[in-house]
Amino acid sequence: MKKMFRATNVVLMLLCLMYFITYLDRVNVSTAAAGFSKDFDLNKTQIGFVFSAFAYPYLIFQIIGGWVSDRFGAKRTLIACGLLWAGATVLTGLAGGLVSLLVARVLLGLGEGATFPAATSAMARWVAKEKRGYAQGITHAAARIGNAVAPGVVVAIMAAYGWRESFFACAALSFVWVLLWWATFTEKPVDHPRITVEETAFLPVPATTKPAVPWGPLFRRMWPVTIVYFCYGWTLWLFLSWIPQYFLHSYDLDLKKSAVFASSVFFAGVIGDTLGGIVTDRILVKTGSLHRARSWMVAICMGLTLLALIPMMFTHQLYVSLACLSAGFFFAEMTIGPMWAIPMDIAPEFSGTASGMMNTGSALAAIISPVIGGLLIDRTGNWELPFVGSMILMAVGVVLAFRMQPESRFDRGAAAEPVVPVRPVVAARRT
């Protein structure tokens, strides 16, 4: 029990809770759309714009937020972000029409834009190297629990009170998290009152100075990672935005049944996130190869995602669709652990900024994917057609995954250090 509540574990649990809340706050709109679309008389394309409005500031503040967290610390960055995203969630519940909904969603994207880069910056100091994949996998698994819980929770609150009250409940949870983060987290592990010598022995040694970010070389180093993450992000945001509506309309289910089916798909992602983080770290410890643990694993999982979605193109059957979507989301989410470990592998001194660069790929996909999905559904009435784009981009991601080169650490004085093989187990515990 004492080990569970060690300082490093408490910080990781708080980050898991943050990931859970941020995804609960950003995907509750997908289920609540069944309520506000009727109140405001919105078509599928307009709903798609409501879904994607979040992503415009989210895209812009990925890199800015990453730099801010590297420069000023994850504690202050996440407190400010938390207050803003909680306030935006309140405003979503107060919306009076399409315009006010869009404004609230833009503010939510502004508040959540820096959250994952800031969390990665914190992990770079609070998580041992051989546990980076697990840490990223378990935190993103918590995010997928938010995805999975959101449909059922929002439907229950909507049935009892209304769609607006579902946003007020989410906002209250967000404000509680901000208070916990403020009271618990310290920038440097050694400053935490409950940190142990045993824990610090395995943590990275913090830099004594904060070097200026070499923007150009770091951009060039991270662009293959960013494109691969765009390919993943397209599928992610298509799923998050349209899966609840897919089961509701494509199979004419009622709201409660559609929520159960959507939650089943998202729970598959929870398992994929957790397992992906564990597997990538075990491959690293066993082989000492970041190329195998990151690039090969991402390529294989993207290929399996593509294969899982193919049967949907040839049959329209409820349980076949459920199986395909669940398997596709499972394999797509298995890429999360290795993908989010890569910025820490490549550029640990600039992990917040580097992860922000990577996540711009997903943020850009979040702008385009929901709107294209809505347009295709409006124009054709075919709810399976948007998933063709996911299959194409997953194939692109398989090819480009081998250009990421996580084994080649970024050197701010050059493009990258020469590739040095990592020795199994021993090297994995060094920073």
Q: Which of 241, 225, 282 minimizes the C-alpha distance to 397?
A: 225
Residue 222 has pLDDT above 70, yes or no: yes
* Cβ 353 vs Cβ 309: under 8 Å: no
The per-residue pLDDT for range 323-337, each reduced to its tens digit, is 999 999 999 999 999
Residue 132 has pLDDT above 70, yes or no: yes
CA distances (Å), origin 95, targets 18, 104, 225, 365: 24, 8, 37, 25
- Please compute the mean of the pLDDT values over residues 170-195 and round it to a whole number: 90
d(CA 281, CA 294): 9
- Please compute the mean of the pLDDT values over residues 371-378 and round it to a whole number: 84
* Cβ 263 vs Cβ 151: under 8 Å: yes
Q: What is the pTM of this model?
A: 0.76
* Cβ 294 vs Cβ 147: under 8 Å: no
Per-residue pLDDT, 330: 96
Find where tokens 């959250």 sit. Answer: 115
Question: Half-sphere exposure of residue 360, counting CA atoms within 13 Å on the CB side?
Answer: 19
CB atoms within 10 A of CB 269: 28
Residue 308 has pLDDT above 90, yes or no: yes
Angle between helix 215-250 and 318-333 (nearest 10): 160
Task: Spell out the domains of the chain, with CATH numbers in brackets.
Answer: 7-187+214-429 (1.20.1250.20)
Q: Reduced to 3 states, what is the DSSP secondary structure of residue 346?
A: helix
Q: What angle do CA 212, 218, 223 make, to 5 degrees?
A: 155
Which 3-state string (H, E, C) describes 58-84?
HHHHHHHHHHHHHHHCHHHHHHHHHHH
Percent share of the chain, pLDDT over 70: 93
CB atoms within 10 A of CB 209: 6
* Cβ 226 vs Cβ 357: under 8 Å: yes
| DSSP label of 295 | I
Per-residue pLDDT, 322: 93
* Cβ 33 vs Cβ 243: under 8 Å: no
Q: Which of 131, 116, 122 minimizes the C-alpha distance to 184?
A: 122
CB atoms within 10 A of CB 384: 19
Q: Which of 59-63, 263-267, 410-414 is predicted with the least confidence, judged by mean pLDDT? A: 410-414
